[in-house]
Amino acid sequence: MIDLEVPKKFRPLLTQAASLADDMFRPISRKYDLAEHEYPTELDLLSAVLDGMSDSGATQGAGASGSAQVKDPGTAPAGVGSGRNDRLGKPNKNGANLSSVLSIMQTCRGDVGLTLSIPRQGLGNAAIAAVASDEQKERYGNRWAAMAITEPEAGSDSGAIRTTAVKDGDDYILNGEKIYVTAGSRADLVVVWATLDRSLGKQAIKSFVVETSNPGMQLVRLEHKLGIRASDTAAFLLQDCRVPARDLLGDPEIRTEAGFGGVMQTFDNTRPLVAAMACGLTRACLDLTTELLAKEGVVPDVDAPLTTQPYAATRLIQMEADYEAAYLLALRAAWMADNGKPNSMQASMAKAKAGRTCVNVSLACVELAGASGYAETELLEKWARDSKILDIFEGTQQIQLLIVARRLLGLSSSQLK
């Protein structure tokens, strides 16, 4: 039987994350939206707290554990809980992926950019968790890792990456350009995607952990952005950047039958996290708009027909339904990762639904709130600006739908473009 309640062991963590959103992030949200590129020093204390939580066995943030890509003839349940998976007769595990998704939903009710700025909780950490060896995970330890995939001529199509990695003795030499690297200037490490052979396309793509102090990787600029302005977004130039071979993540061999699978497994970890960010921001928009409308006497009644209620109340009820769908999809993708089930399609479903829902809901809430929604007296206009990136990074809406279609139809990337 599927249990959709939050597991008891996660509830203290979520209480702390909710308090963080309300008591720390919300009060400084506008400050760092206006002071773009200024490091939020308040997060240093938070980092120390998170280290203590990690030492005690609790985790929060993007460093979710990897998902074992195993074949399973059964269908994974859509929910989470405790006990056993009765359908398959196997234990039901609620682990780091699920706790990260649930806690990120809470912190992003406060501020997405600040959540992305929490030290040592970068998307690169999730990439390392997904494909690194045990030795690499221990060596990188509790360090902050950003992730560099996008290039000027390779955005949504990760297989079109032009950055090269050439083996030279015990090192690889990387050359290329990376843009839109979240937390790139603040992180200790950057997980860089590069190709070992451009002629082989995506099969030759590998990921490398590069120290930000590496003289071959130059920080070119920090981007000015529409939203998530508290989070730095960097551009790097790699010129004869020498990286030890031991810092290549996953299999160093080019395997044309499934060479891209290792690095793509990174997305199976990070896309549910982005879906969680979108769910958290959506929740914030709905809660504030509901509160503002209630002050004007507009209160939705879920038991009454929609046609008998004011338009604003009807829209809130409809948007709540969209939120619930996105929320459950995110939980399913994380649950599958924790239980060792291939979740690529489910991760893309969650990211696609949550990203689009977040954009639609945030813009609708600005409209419903009228002048309060458009002015800086409330955070709704900021949340609307923040929302768009959640529909873009870690694979655009269109790419997610394409991945889902390929999976459902059983077609390859060359058969369905």
Beta strands 217-222 and 164-168, pairing class:
unpaired
Structure tokens at 147: 């992730």
| CA-angle at 122, arms to 56 and 170, nearest 5° | 100
Tokens 């959540």 identify what position?
Answer: 115
> What's the rounded Cα separation, in Å, for the pair 316 and 54?
38
CB atoms within 10 A of CB 396: 16
User: What are 145's strand-pairing partners?
Assistant: 189
Q: Tell the residue number behind the tokens 């399973």, with chain if given.
A: 72
- Token pair listed for 81: 């809980």
Q: Which residues form the catalytic set?
A: 394
The neighbour count for residue 353, using CB atoms within 10 Å, is 24
Residue 243, strand partner residues? 172
Q: DSSP string of 48-84?
A: HHHHHHHHTT---SS-PPP------SSPPPS---SSE
SS3 percent helix, strand, coil of the chain, rounded to 5, is 50, 15, 35
Judged by DSSP in three states, 221 sits in: strand
Give every CB contact of residue 43 below 8 A, 6+ residues apart in sequence.
114, 117, 118, 119
The CA-based dihedral angle spanning residues 234, 384, 124, 31, taken in that order and rounded to the nearest 10 degrees? 60
Angle (CA) 193 247 155, round 5°: 5
